[in-house]
Structure 1
Amino acid sequence: MSKITASMVKELREKTGAGMMDCKQALTETGGDMEKAIDWLRAKGLSKAAKKSSRVAAEGLVGVKTEGTRGALVEVNSETDFVARNEEFQKMVSGIADVALEAKGDLEALKAAEFPGAGMSVEDYVKEMVAKIGENMTVRRTAYLEVPEGVVVAYMHNQAAPNLGKIGVLVALESSGDAEKLAELGKKLAMHVAAAAPLALTPEEMPAEVVERERAIYIEQAKESGKPDNIIEKMVEGRMKKFFKESVLMSQIFVMDNETPIEKVVKNAEAEVGAPVKLAGFVRMQLGEGVEKKEEDFAAEVAKTAGI
């Protein structure tokens, strides 16, 4: 069993909002495993955390590029927010986003592709920038959406520069209708995705491991009630239905009116668009999602740098 440190307890408390002693107990019960400790607290009803519990800690930028019926997102990390505000870094991320459109979601193809006007690969260009700026940078991930006809619309939340920011969204709408009206609809849906953070487009597309994890937590919660197994089963199924309703994009309530399910928002738009509309897919990319930045002891680092 790993030693439970004060910093681990602090991190779990920040992630879940649970009490300090509860966090310590959760870590003790789970052998110091942070994710299992989060689940333990949720099962005990002690966590106030949202569905996505990972604390975003990495720096850098998300970049986006769209072109008619296709669009791409890319996340490029840096060590500090100071570098993320650097104009050269921003230009680099914009260039990588342009290339990402051609890489079509393939990270290795993106790294191997030529950086615009540089005569070298994206990977080598990033290495040159690392040497120039003196801070580690990495192209972490990329995503791509395309439809045969219709539009792929982008939205960037809290823009740091044009098409660069902390949360980037792509929404793909398949339709033969008015492209301008489709784009308006797509922008509203993309803003909803940025705010509501759905986990899947439909229940069928929800990752199996996510479903299993939620079910396991709800079973533990239901068992705490001490009720018979048949009642526990009904309780779990009820909570799973609620989970899907809140986490699946098509069944989420539109944040702009707080009453209409997204599925109906899309259907209602068909009259104005002038043709059937299919919400074909979405991607939401938040900077640093799932990454924990190493906490440094500033005094120790200064001493180390000074050779003390």
Structure 2
Amino acid sequence: MASVNMADVKRLRELTAAGMMDCKKALEESEGDFDRAVELLRLKGAKDVGKREARTASNGLVAVKHEGDSAAALLELNCETDFVAKGERFQELAADVVAHILATRPSDVPTLLESELNGKTVKELLDEANAALGEKIEIRRFSVLEGGYVGSYMHKTDPQLPPAVGVLVQLDTAKPDVAKDIAQHAAAMAPKFLSPAEVPADVIAKERALFEEMTREEGKPEAAIGKIVDGRVNGWYKDFTLLEQAFVKDNKKSIAKYADEAGVKVLAFARFKVGQA
């Protein structure tokens, strides 16, 4: 078996909450392939590993900027320590950049970095912050939702720090209370996709293959494997797609049903948690 780096073992343990030795064995068996190691832990019964991958792995903040009720931008700006994250300069930089994003609608992070803000490129502003604060400062991602009604929810995991979780929710109708409910739900339950129809084919193919491997390892009858795998895929949808998740305020109904009863359609959402993929 391949030797493994203990830093990778620690990272895998932080992401999955599996035991240290289990993580080491998974990395050895996967020959250092981190994603495969996660899959092996799931196969060996480390429950909820997929959900635990949402744990925070770095510092920074999530910032939001609205343009009326119909558009908003969400930004994740990262740094190395919470000391910098709670500093005024870092938070002002985030506010400036997220406002710039909403005003200019860049297509991606590289385009954003090359765009001009206050007479300098955004990259130059980040470099200046790096030098002044003594830490690596970087933009990890951003999202802009526009059209219909766009609501948001920002959550502080520590009252002394800026928001570490931010959610935008886009509805076809202006219902602020509904948007807030759904945004708070998304902040807590960490959906990855809006609906089963929006899950990329390669993602669900990978999950289906893993569930089939898991089912065979459990010794289930060959004739039943297809049905069991279908059930597990449907369960995955209920865990990771917003509209299929059970509403946190009433787990007898899905978010889709809650929205339908409220007379709205959920068009899109964006959820960022500092350090989360």
Counterparts of 1:184-195 in structure 2, within 5 Å, are 184-195=177-188
C-alpha contact (below 8 Å) 2:41/2:49 kept by paired residues = no
Counterpart code for 1:193: A
Q: What SS is found at the alignment partner of 1:32?
A: coil
Q: Which residue of 2 is the match for residue 210 of structure 1?
A: 203
* Distance across 1 between alignment mates of 2:100 and 2:268: 21
Given candidates 160, 168, 171, the residue that maps to 2:169 is 171
Q: Render the CA deviation track for 1:90-138: whole Å, top value 9, x for unaligned.
A: 01101111011123352233223333xx322222222222222222211
C-alpha contact (below 8 Å) 2:15/2:52 kept by paired residues = no
* Distance across 2 between alignment mates of 1:127 and 1:5: 31
Counterpart code for 2:119: G
Q: Does 1:285 align with 2:272?
A: yes
Q: Which residue of 2 is the match for residue 201 of structure 1?
A: 194
Q: What SS is found at the alignment partner of 2:220?
A: coil
Q: What SS is found at the alignment partner of 1:258?
A: strand
When normalised by structure 1's length, the TM-score is 0.82
Runs of 4 or more consecutive aligned structure 1 residues displaced over 4 Å after TM superposition = none
Name the Cα RMSD after superposition.
2.2
Greater radius of gyration (CA): 1
C-alpha contact (below 8 Å) 2:72/2:146 kept by paired residues = yes
Q: Which runs of 5+ in 2 are unaligned?
A: none
* Distance across 2 between alignment mates of 1:42 and 1:105: 38
* Distance across 2 between alignment mates of 1:255 and 1:54: 18
Q: What SS is found at the alignment partner of 2:45?
A: coil
C-alpha contact (below 8 Å) 1:105/1:144 kept by paired residues = no
Given candidates 102, 108, 111, the residue that maps to 2:110 is 108
Q: Which residue of 1 is the match for residue 16 of structure 2?
A: 16
Q: Which residue of 2 is the match for residue 153 of structure 1?
A: 151
After superposition, the Cα gap between the structure-2 partners of 1:160 and 1:19, relative to the gap in structure 1 and judged at 3 Å, is closer
After superposition, the Cα gap between the structure-2 partners of 1:21 and 1:108, relative to the gap in structure 1 and judged at 3 Å, is closer
C-alpha contact (below 8 Å) 1:17/1:48 kept by paired residues = no
After superposition, the Cα gap between the structure-2 partners of 1:77 and 1:2, relative to the gap in structure 1 and judged at 3 Å, is farther
Given candidates 196, 219, 227, the residue that maps to 1:226 is 219
After superposition, the Cα gap between the structure-2 partners of 1:123 and 1:5, relative to the gap in structure 1 and judged at 3 Å, is closer
* Distance across 1 between alignment mates of 2:10 and 2:89: 36
C-alpha contact (below 8 Å) 1:155/1:169 kept by paired residues = yes
Counterparts of 1:249-288 in structure 2, within 5 Å, are 249-270=242-263, 277-288=264-275
- Residue 208 (structure 1) shift: 2.3
After superposition, the Cα gap between the structure-2 partners of 1:160 and 1:241, relative to the gap in structure 1 and judged at 3 Å, is closer
After superposition, the Cα gap between the structure-2 partners of 1:46 and 1:260, relative to the gap in structure 1 and judged at 3 Å, is closer
After superposition, the Cα gap between the structure-2 partners of 1:105 and 1:210, relative to the gap in structure 1 and judged at 3 Å, is farther
- Residue 17 (structure 1) shift: 3.0
Q: Which residue of 1 is the match for residue 240 of structure 2?
A: 247
Counterpart code for 1:282: F
**How many residues of Structure 1 are paired with residues of Structure 2 in the alignment?**
274
Q: Which residue of 1 is the match for residue 125 of structure 2?
A: 125
Q: Which residue of 1 is the match for residue 46 of structure 2?
A: 46
Q: Percent identity?
A: 41
Q: Which residue of 1 is the match for residue 95 of structure 2?
A: 94
Counterpart code for 2:267: A
Q: Render the CA deviation track for 1:195-216: whole Å, top value 9, x for unaligned.
A: 1111211111012232122212
* Distance across 2 between alignment mates of 1:192 and 1:62: 17
- Residue 251 (structure 1) shift: 1.6
